[in-house]
Structure 1
Amino acid sequence: MIFLEAGNKIIQEILLKQFDASTRQPSVHVNGGDFDGTKFVIQSDAGNKNLLTLSIYVHGEKEFNQYGGIELVKKTLPGLDVKAPGLTVDDQKHTFTVTIDVEKEEKNKDKWLKELPRVKTTYMSAVFLQAMDKHAKGEQFEPIKVPYRPDENIYIISYKGKSLVVVYSILFRDPDDVVFANGFLCEFKDAKKDRALNAAPNMNFSQGQLAGELVDVKSVTEPKDERTLKKEGWGFVSIGLLDNHTKADKQLNTAELLLGFRSYLHYHLKCMKAYMHIRMRESVEKLMLNLNAAKDLSGKKTEKKTMSGRTFKQQ
């Protein structure tokens, strides 16, 4: 399995060039996006080529800000200017903007090359960190709804402070993805049978039916009618976290994995479909080779007879 990195490679490569005086560009303006639907713009200041601004737009910013997303970014990037809301670039309003002087901060190059490409993940992790911190203390809280995509949500649910469940609502626009996802996620469920993987979280996948953990949650915006859920292609993935996942030293890693799960799932679904298409093409090519090998290229006419002795005539 391939786990997608929390940091953005495009941002990292641009920073790497700008930190080096020999490769520094006088003007930079790059628009990009990520697998989770976030958008970013990294650009240099018109009056000072050493100043670089990174503006990031995240869907559901209201909820992320409510749970301390901006405060966590400022804490992670001490000494850098963090503004929220961010700049408006190319008619796009951004959630926050980070400004860095690459010449002055060259001594901290390694730190910023690690932290800035993953600043979006840091920002979105705040809601998970707060929920896990409360759970670790045994505190119960109301279900948290995070609209991390325009049409999909993440729900963080605490059951009497004893268990913490994260539920993803996923809209499968391709009917084939539902079949692949069901088989793919069943492997996660069966993995618990292996003693070496007992520490893995519990996982459940339901398609065309509202997840059991969401039945009593009032903030649910997905359809509740099973016919509508099946018709539109809704699926729900529930991940039950264990106590070892919510410990203080494991919280950040757990939050990053939870944030990347949806992209991780769809990435592997596309890989599975691509692999099947490759195998199908290979099978067709082998079949064509066998058919061509069976052709009679001698040019000789052979007489064919039936069981009664009659002869076939070719016209």
Structure 2
Amino acid sequence: MLLLQYHNLLIQSILSERFSPDSLPVSLDQVISDFDNVTYHVSTPESKSKIMISLSIRCYKDLQKYGVEKVLAQKYGPYIVSPEPGFDFSIVVDLDNLPSEPGEREQLIEQIALFKRNALAAPFEMAFDQFDELAADAKKNAIDLSVPEDSGSDVMAINYREEESIYIKPSHDRVTVIFSTVFREETDRVFGKVFLQEFVDARRRAIQNAPQVLYSSKEPPLEIRSVPGVRSSDDIGYITFVLFERHITKDRRENCISHIQIFRDYFHYHIKCSKAYMHSRMRFRVAEFLKVLNRAKPEVAEKEKKTATGRRFR
């Protein structure tokens, strides 16, 4: 199966072309869409040598509560400017003051292409930091880390789509990440259930250190039932990832955040791919059946003719 990329390929290609020493100054005014209804605006409002990249994301107000501005300041500190009207966050890159080293330029391009990923990383980083604090307190107070904690900290809710959200709950022994997702069709729910069962089977067969994956339909998991706005309906499902300490060590956190925040898009992308594959196989099989039916048709015999004397001929 295809693993979706975390960066925006179009932004990466535009900046790679513009950062080239042989590139000629040109005006830019391009609106770019990304997963989860995220919008970018790449433009040169002041001069051709200054490129502004603006980000619009539906859940920015939720992200502000979880330190998104601090995270983005660490990534884009010297390039941050006042947000462009209609957008949530903006940076400006001066082509005349780019890093001199090619490796540093490539790193800057990569970070800008990861704009959406870095913004959505804020609540995960906060949850992992809270996990470290709660785990340290538990060890200090001699709490059994193998026993799940009921209280824990508050649930972080990120309403990143119109009807779908991500819920993150850190505790002293784990970090629970829950995706709510809407199935528009009954067939999507069936495909999704089969697809998620593969996660369970793969963990049982070969990847025993993988996070535990749970799925529930209609009713939300216990961890988020007290959160305002959580829905219970026939067309909604909840996918739970249980991350233990081995999954979120210091050297794995960046990779873990990148993988888990793209899960919803990965999930629905492969549901659509599975449906498309089955439709193509069905069309192929129907075409083969039609060939068999055409071969089974009897040839129509030509009608015999008679002469006046009664002789027959064709």
Q: Which residue of 2 aligns with 1:185?
A: 196
Structure 1 residue 203: deviation in Å?
A: 0.5
Q: Does 1:150 align with 2:162?
A: yes
Alpha-carbon distance between aligned partners in 1 of 2:99 and 2:300, rounded to the nearest angstrom? 76
Structure 1 residues 103-153: Cα deviation after superposition (integer angstroms, max 9, x where no partner): 321533211121110022111101101101221332542111111112211
Cα deviations by residue, 1:33-75 (Å, 9 ceiling, x for unpaired): 11222111111134x2010000001111112122221221221
Letter in 1 for 2:269: Y
**Equivalent residue, structure 2, for 1:208:** 218
Q: Greater shift after overlay, 281-290 or 206-215?
A: 206-215
Q: Is the 8 A contact 1:50 1:102 kept in 2?
A: yes
Between 21-30 and 96-105, report the one with greater CA deviation: 21-30
Residue 312 of structure 1 corresponds to none
Task: Give the match for residue 63 of structure 1.
Answer: 62
**Partner in structure 2 of residue 168 of structure 1:** 179
- 1:116 partnered with 2:112: yes
Question: Matched residues in 2 for 1:103 and 1:174: separation?
Answer: 52
Q: Percent identity?
A: 26
* Alignment partners' CA distance in 1, 2:268 and 2:25: 36
Give 2:249's aligned residue: 247
- Report what 1:222 is aligned to: 230
Distance 2:275 2:19 in 1: 40
TM-superposed deviation, 1:298: 5.8
1:44-83 correspondence runs (5 A): 44-46=44-46, 48-80=47-79, 82-83=80-81
- Aligned residue number for residue 84 of structure 2: 87
Corresponding residue number in structure 2 for 1:26: 26
Q: Structure 1: how far apart are the matches of 2:52 and 2:186?
A: 41
1:128 equivalent in structure 2: 124
**Which of 93, 106, 113 lines up with 1:100 in the alignment?**
93
Tell me the SS of whatever aligns to 1:275: helix
For residue 11 of structure 2, what is the aligned residue in structure 1?
Answer: 11
The TM-score with structure 1 as length reference comes to 0.85
Q: Does the Cα contact within 8 Å between 1:168 and 1:238 map onto a contact in 2?
A: yes
Would you say the 8 A contact 1:135–1:246 is kept in 2?
Answer: no
**Secondary structure at the counterpart of residue 2 of structure 2:** coil
State the AA in 1 paired with 2:224. L
Query: Using the alignment, how far apart are the partners of 2:278 and 2:122 within structure 1?
Result: 39
How far apart in 2 are the matches of 1:74 and 1:136? 23
Deviates more, 1:270-279 or 1:36-45: 36-45
- The Cα offsets for residues 185-216 of structure 1, whole Å up to 9 and x where unpaired, read as 0111122212x30111001111222223323x
Give the counterpart letter for 2:178 in structure 1.
V
1:237 is matched by which residue type in structure 2?
Answer: I
Contact 1:189 1:203 in 2 (8 A): yes
Q: Matched residue of 2:114: which SS? A: helix
Tell me how far 1:23 sits from its aligned partner: 3.9
For the residues of structure 2 that align with 1:209 and 1:66, how far apart are their CA atoms?
27
The one-letter amino acid of 2:243's match is L
Contact 2:128 2:170 in 1 (8 A): no
